Structure 1
Amino acid sequence: METIIVIVFVLGYLAITLEHNLKIDKLIPALGMMSILWAIIALTGLPVFEVNMDLKELEQGSMEGILLHHLGKTAEILVFLLGAMTIVEIIDYFDGFATIKSFIKTKKKSKLLWIVSSLAFVLSAIIDNLTATIVLITILQKLIKERDLRLWFAGLIIIAANAGGAWSPIGDVTTTMLWIANKVTASVLVEHVLIPSIFCFVVPTFIASRMSVFKGSIEDDGSDNDMPKSKYGGIMFYLGLGAIIFVPIFKSVTHLPPYVGMMLSLAFVAAFAEIYSSSKFNITTIDGGEGEAAGHHSPVHSSLSKIELPSILFFLGILLAVAALESLGMLFHFAEGLNASVPGLGTELHSTAVSDLVVLILGVGSAVIDNVPLVAASIGMFQIGLDEPAWHFIAYSAGTGGSMLIIGSAAGVVAMGMEKIDFFWYFKKISWLAMIGFLSGAVVFVLMRNFILNV
């Protein structure tokens, strides 16, 4: 029966990876795979287990209890993401991201490259790499009329955005997963991964800035005359970013789960949004009539309607599908087998050259396979302590490795859609730069871990 479980998972995984070829949204196979796996467990009465972190062994439990446990852990991530997405949409409602345009004063291509790459790196650490990519490509579409040149800028933005998301607990879904699962703390993650991430985006940006495509200046298209849609855009931009940054601080002070802090931040930002919009505070309509009008014009209501629910459902499906394998003990036994066959690796995943190679392979694999299930599987496989260097290296590799192919990250996929970037164009022009950046950051991480941080 376990063979059937593995086959279902592999087929579902393959359908997720080939979503562009199959033209089927990846949430469909993710939800289907999750439901089928748990249905098989329920119908066949397979024993389910939970990993005892203290004894490093499996403890059998009831299916309902263990499924509820995994649903609770998954819900923490999903509620956190819902809050963050809503805050970002509220900022966009007030055209707050137009504030970023004030930082761009140059027409010189190489200087503009450094500005947008740096903005992508910083913004992705706060509002996540996907949103940062959308915002900056939208701005570039107003600044640069030449599409071929925009493609180059978009490629470097993808690299910088993924690098920026890797060092922040709120910058990428995978780092958020590790943070919420208590594998890393925000401060130590930043300490270990920030500098390698900087190298990951600075090295390819430096190389690209010396290339002929970034020589000279862009043509002035008069876009500097664009007026912001709302006079509160700047205020909501900084208010929203500050509220998101507040979440890790709230967690460190109260020791409550991150989603609690995110809900507090959302309430704060939503209150100001309602005040500035002169609308009644009404997220859902009550009696119709005047309530419907107020709800319709509410920035919070509008923002909630624009949230990427397909992404939320995809995360639900893939995380609970991986949880099914974990509950059957498959990931635990796989890690034990890995420990027996590969010296120096295994469930302890000590910082050896062998374990470093495995994590690097995980990073390269994230360019082909979605990094969310890879990190979810890693969390289930390796039972090592809080803030072990291996977790930080996994966060770096999974977060930045996806830049090597345009389909390897959410940032790449959205850029592909916005600018109609060809897969093979990206592979020929950008992939080698992304690989150089990925390896540069990895080398810096290992050197820092072994000789500076002494861990």
Structure 2
Amino acid sequence: MHSLIIVFAVLALLFVIFEEVVHINKAKSTLFFGCLTWLVLYMFPGSPYSHENVTESLNENLLEIATLWLFLMSAMTFVAYLNSRGFISGLVQRTLPAQMSERKLLIYLGIIAFLFSSLADNVTATLVSVAVIAQLKIAAKKRLKYAALIIFAVNSGGVSLITGDVTTLMIFLAGKVSIVSLLQLIAPALAGVVCLAFLLSISMKDTIELNVETKPLLLVDKVIAIIFMLTIFSTLAFNVIFDVPPVLTFMFGLSIMLLCGHFMHWPKTNTNVLNYIREIEFDTLLFFLGILLIVGGLKKLEVLDNIHLIYEHLPVSVANFILGISSSLIDNVPLTAAVLKANIEMPNSQWLPLTYAVGVGGSLLIIGSAAGIIAMSKIKELTFISYLRVFASLLLSYSVGYWLTVYMVH
């Protein structure tokens, strides 16, 4: 049974890695193998496990998944509404001048992507930033540099807040880091982005004309955007002061958003703000569900305990650094889940560098993060091979951010 479930996990991982080859959405494959894992555990529990013992483990696994799901569903509904209404893209376009130097635009987009990914999510931040460069008349090599910085900045910005990256949220929910300690990642993460912007902008000297069209921002959209921001800050504050679980605060913020949207729209339009829940990326949520079911099954069989071997043969900081690079080949969500389930003992201060590593390390290859996959689908010049041209700059910038984090926590 152990071997069979390990085969399921390997197959699920291969389907994720080669999603573009097999043309099967990773949510479908991981959910299939995740459910199959627990079905096999129930049918053939094996010694020393019992039916009751498997049920207890499954309930514990589902509770962890439900907490993550509800938080992400609440946050993604806010973003889905504001994105569908064109509020986020409109806000970015309003800050753009008629023309700008290539170097300034590169730095500007990096900062915008960094900030948006912290407050919203990687997918939205990538879509908004990529939309700006997609309409620019620039050479393919330069467009590649803009895309690379956006991918790196999006992943860097998400590591310092639980609303910005799923892996950060997972590590927080596991009790390995606190909201206050996560804020320490802002400086080193931003330093990594600045380093990459400098490396990529060395040969950029031209000026770009920006054809920006702005649309009026409606009052209801402004109000819901304010509610979203207040929800984020309240989530952070309530957790620090009263130890309120973030999922509860965000669900409360969502309820206020739905009520506010209802009364501000009604009776002028037939818009139902509740409908925007249907526009969130359920394939992403189902992918997380499948992955966490698989990892939960592996944890039950104590398969993940072998991950600690890398920490026995290498210093903790080096092991975390390598795991971060590994996340560019293996999706960082299952990698993070596996590390957490392996019950690795390391100093509390080392969980911050690990958070940075698994969050940003996926930027090194185009297939290593959701931001990379999305950017590749939107920019035709961006491929796995072409992205390798900036690998050295990405690795150096990742190293700068990581080792600054290590130095900071010591």
Q: What residue is the counterpart of 1:402 in the other structure?
A: 362
CA–CA distance in structure 2, aligned partners of residues 65 and 444 of structure 1: 42
Name which of 260, 264, 267 aligns with 2:255: 267
Q: Tell me the equivalent position of 1:347.
A: none
Paired with 2:36 and 2:250, the residues of 1 have a C-alpha distance of 32
Work out the percentage of aligned pairs sharing the same amino acid. 28
Work out whether 1:189 is the aligned partner of 2:189.
Answer: no
Q: 1:93-112, aligned counterparts within 5 Å? A: 93-97=84-88, 98-105=90-97, 106-112=99-105
1:201 corresponds, among 193, 201, 213, to 193
Paired with 1:406 and 1:337, the residues of 2 have a C-alpha distance of 28
Amino acid of the residue matched to residue 202 of structure 1? V
Unmatched tracts of structure 1, length 5 or more:
50-58, 281-292, 344-352, 451-455
The offset of 1:395, in angstroms, is 0.7
Q: Distance in 2 between matches of 1:189 and 1:61?
A: 38
1:46 aligns with 2:46: yes
Q: 2:107 aligns with which of 106, 114, 119?
A: 114
Asked if the contact 1:90/1:270 (under 8 Å) is kept, the reply is: no
Q: Decide which of 261, 283, 290 is 1:310's aligned counterpart.
A: 283
Task: Give me the whole-angstrom Cα distance separating, in 2, the residues matched to 1:397 and 1:27.
Answer: 24
Q: What residue is the counterpart of 1:53 in the other structure? A: none
Structure 2: distance between partners of 1:116 and 1:338: 37
SS at match of 2:404: helix
Match of 1:320 in 2: 293
Residue 350 of structure 1: aligned partner: none
The AA in structure 2 aligned to 1:393 is P
- Paired residue for 2:64? 73
Root-mean-square deviation (CA), in Å?
Answer: 2.3
Cα 1:238–1:426 change in 2 (3 A) is farther
Question: Which AA in structure 2 matches 1:272?
Answer: C
Distance apart, 1:371 and its partner CA: 0.2
Give 1:418's match in structure 2, choosing from 345, 359, 378: 378
1:169 and 1:156 mapped to 2: Cα distance?
Answer: 22
- 8 Å CA contact 2:227–2:257 kept in 1: the answer is yes
Structure 1 distance, partners of 2:310, 2:153, is 33
Q: In the TM superposition, what are the counterparts of 1:298-377 in structure 2 within 5 Å?
A: 298-301=272-275, 303-332=276-305, 334-335=306-307, 342-343=312-313, 354-377=315-338
Distance 2:320 2:289 in 1: 25
Give the Cα–Cα distance (whole angstroms) in 1 for the partners of residues 341 and 51 of structure 2: 16
Task: Give 1:43's aligned amino acid.
Answer: M
- How many angstroms apart in 1 are the aligned matches of 2:21 and 2:93? 36
Q: Which residue is equivalent to 2:81?
A: 90
Q: How far, CA to CA, are the matches of 1:226 and 1:67 in structure 2? A: 50
Per-residue CA shift, 1:218-272, capped at 9, x if unaligned?
1243x2x432363544443343233233222222233232211110111122223
Q: 1:36 maps to what in 2?
A: 36
Unaligned stretches of 5+ in structure 2?
A: none
Alpha-carbon offset, residue 432 of structure 1: 2.1
- Corresponding residue number in structure 2 for 1:287: none
Per-residue deviation, 1:384: 3.8
Which deviates more, 11-20 or 144-153? 144-153
Are the aligned partners of 2:45 and 2:51 in contact in 1 as well (CA < 8 Å)? no
Q: Alignment partner of 1:226: what SS?
A: coil
Q: Indicate how the Cα distance of structure 1 residues 47 and 90 shifts in structure 2: closer, same or farther if over 3 A, else same.
A: farther
Moved more, 439-448 or 118-127: 439-448
Separation in 1, partners of 2:280, 2:138: 31
- 8 A Cα contact 1:47 1:328, kept in partner: no
The answer for the alignment partner of 1:390 in structure 2 is: 350
Distance in 1 separating the partners of 2:139 and 2:273: 33
> Which residue of structure 1 lines up, in the alignment, with residue 126 of structure 2?
133
> What corresponds to 2:218 in structure 1?
230
In the alignment, the residues of structure 1 paired with residue 279 and residue 198 of structure 2 have an alpha-carbon distance, to the nearest angstrom, of 37
- Structure 1 contact 93–299 (Cα < 8 Å) conserved: no
Give the aligned partner of residue 209 of structure 2. 219
Q: Which deviations, in whole Å up to 9, do the C-alpha atoms of 1:103-140 show, x marking residues without a partner? A: 22252111111111111111111102221111122233
Q: Could you tell me which residue of structure 1 aligns to residue 6 of structure 2?
A: 6
SS of aligned partner of 2:324: helix
- Residue 198 of structure 1: how far off its partner (Å): 1.4
1:290-319 Cα offsets, whole Å, 9 max, x none, are: xxx94xx21331x11211111111100000
Given the alignment of the two structures, is residue 177 of structure 1 paired with residue 167 of structure 2, yes or no?
no
TM-score of the pair, normalised by structure 1: 0.83
Which whole-Å CA distance do the structure 1 matches of 2:241 and 2:152 have between them?
33
Instruction: Give the Cα–Cα distance (whole angstroms) in 2 for the partners of residues 361 and 129 of structure 1.
Output: 23
* Residue 138 of structure 2 corresponds to residue 146 of structure 1: yes
The DSSP-based 3-state class of the residue aligned with 1:218 is strand
Counterpart of 2:55, as a letter, is E
The change in CA–CA distance for 1:48 and 1:298 in structure 2 (over 3 A counts) is: farther
Q: What is the aligned residue count?
A: 406
Answer yes or no: is the 8 Å Cα contact 1:99–1:233 preserved in 2.
no
Output the TM-score relative to the length of structure 2: 0.92
Code of the aligned partner of 1:14: L
Whole-Å separation in 1 of the counterparts to 2:178 and 2:30: 29
Is the alpha carbon distance of 1:241 and 1:138 closer, same or farther for their aligned partners in structure 2, counting shifts above 3 Å?
farther
SS at match of 2:207: coil
Q: Distance in 1 between matches of 2:48 and 2:352?
A: 29
Q: Is the 8 A contact 2:8 2:33 kept in 1?
A: yes
Match for 1:80: what amino acid?
A: F
**Letter of the aligned partner of 2:42 in structure 1?**
A
